Amino acid sequence: MSPMGSRALTAVMCALASTASACTVATVGEGTETSRAALATAAAAVGAGEEAGATLACGVRFVNAATGSGSTTAACRSPGQACRTIQQAVGVACPGDVVIVGAGRFVENVVIDKPLSVIGSGDGTVVFPAASSPAPCVDSSVCGGAASSVVLVRANDVTIADLSIDGDNPALSSGVVVRGADVDARNGIMTDVGGPFDGLQVHNVTVRNVYLRGIDASSGGTFVIEESRVINVSGDPQAAGIFDTEGGGVIDGNVVVDAGTGIAANRSRGTRITNNTVTRSAGGIHTDNAGLAPGSSPDVVANNVVTDCGADGFGVWSFAPYLPATFRGNRVSRCGVGLAELGQNAPARAVFVDNQVDGASLPGTIGLYVTTSLFDYGSSDVRVVAARNTIANTSVGVYVDEQTGHSATVDLDCDALPGDAEAIVSGDASVTVHDRAACTAVAEALN
């Protein structure tokens, strides 16, 4: 970036800031890679405008809750002529523009219907829902448009970064109280159901106090959700902090606290769920019906930490996959079940390798649970390879269960099962235990 562009960017952000200290929030060199790139684009555009002595037609838009104009003719083309709302800036923006949102409180339900980058000023940029509708239906996330979603994405190539969403608007009252918050929003950030919408990127965003979905890539498109925080999303039994429906992408480096399920993928086309932390949620991280669509690739769930999901909660698991998932290097503690494979929709071999489970001596805990049951959807054969896992302080180390007419096969290789009341429990299921000291070919093949 040229010196002129850098000075221009600093001037832009300081002009938008509500306090002097906020001038340091989004200078070049801070924030995520995507937000830095978007801000650099904005700086170049502003720099060019300064040198030409003109406002900007396309490239960057500005939003300032305190000093922005609410006029329908405002174009948000300069810091001195900022718009008052995010939706106003989205409406006048060109496809591909960067919308820079200053620190402040914004009360609106934003619909993004063109490729855009919406970049806030960190947690000082807070968006509350204008509409209170957390539970208008029981079987849908958007409820035919009746649900209150704080940010609804209806376009490809949308980036949302460096801002906070709070689904509890103090000026509204829904009467739906979740963990002490009167929640008004059903969803935080989500792609609409009319997609697929590809290229969603969510970086360094905080979402709290919503009823059903914190961040939801629900359109079947591609996505990256990273370095974000989701807090208190547990109003419904199906609530999830971060969710992927029929898409493929990356969920990396996020923190989820107090959710129904922390992170989940359903009918995914190949999703990597890595380096996340989930705590105090009813369930940790799971992938369901993965690989149903032709051309899908297997899901990978790796290097996550799941804690305190409760006596009935599962840590990391797979349900009814069409392609086998790999679970590698995850750490689970104080959950009813640490690792699990629950049926399979097609011949597959799920892989659990280098995971650590600590049941903390809670009663009834299981380290690895494998079953042929698909619960309300019948039963199927199931096959699992588990290698180099450490399971400690559980009531049962490995529990294998099969229903009549179906077989469960588990190959255990080089797993450590110390401190368990019963190391391996199985009825008629087939369990092969390889020489743990030798760590034979099954483990070697997983390197």
Mean pLDDT value across residues 160-186: 97
Task: Read off the pLDDT band of 56 (50, 70, 90).
Answer: low
- Asked if residue 355 belongs to a domain, the reply is yes
Phi, psi (deg, nearest 5) at residue 140: -155, 155
Mean pLDDT of all residues belonging to the chain: 86
Distances (CA, A) of 309 to 283, 314, 370, 427: 6, 7, 19, 27
| 329 in a structural domain | yes
Instruction: Give the least confident one: 19-23, 99-103, 406-410.
Output: 19-23
Do 333 and 360 meet the contact criterion of CB atoms below 8 Å apart?
A: yes
Percent of the chain exceeding pLDDT 70 equals: 83
Nearest alpha carbon to residue 102 among 195, 11, 3: 11
Give the lowest-confidence range in 33-47, 148-162, 331-345: 33-47
More confident of the two residues 26 and 401: 401
- Give the 3-state secondary structure of residue 375: helix
The predicted pLDDT at position 14 comes to 43
Top pLDDT among 430 and 233 is at 233
- 249 near 228, Cβ under 8 Å? no
Report the pLDDT value the prediction gives residue 10, as an integer from 0 to 100.
40
pLDDT at 193: 87
pLDDT at 77 over 50: yes
- Quote the domain boundaries for residue 444: 265-277+287-447
Residue 40: exposure state from Cβ atoms within 10 A (0-12, 13-18, ≥19): middle
The answer to whether residue 252 sits within a structural domain is no
| pLDDT at residue 217 greater than cutoff 70 | yes
pLDDT tier, 426 (very low <50, low <70, confident <90, very high otherwise): confident
Residue 195 covered by a domain: no
Name the token pair of 419: 């401190």
Q: How confident is the model at residue 376 (pLDDT cuts 50, 70, 90)?
A: confident
CA 359 to CA 379: how far, in whole Å?
A: 28
Residue 218 lies in a domain: no
**46 occurs within a structural domain:** no
Total structural domains in the chain?
1
> Could you count the other beta carbons within 10 Å of the beta carbon of residue 2?
12
342 occurs within a structural domain: yes
The answer to whether residue 433 scores a pLDDT higher than 90 is no
Identify the pLDDT of residue 12.
43
Residues 367-379 have a mean pLDDT of 92
Q: Where are the alpha helices (DSSP H) in 166-270?
A: none
On whether residue 317 sits in a domain, the answer given is yes
Instruction: Give me the pLDDT at residue 74, please.
Output: 82
pLDDT of residue 1: 35
- Using the predicted structure, report yes or no on whether residue 195 has a pLDDT greater than 90: no
**CB contact at 8 A, 274 and 294:** no
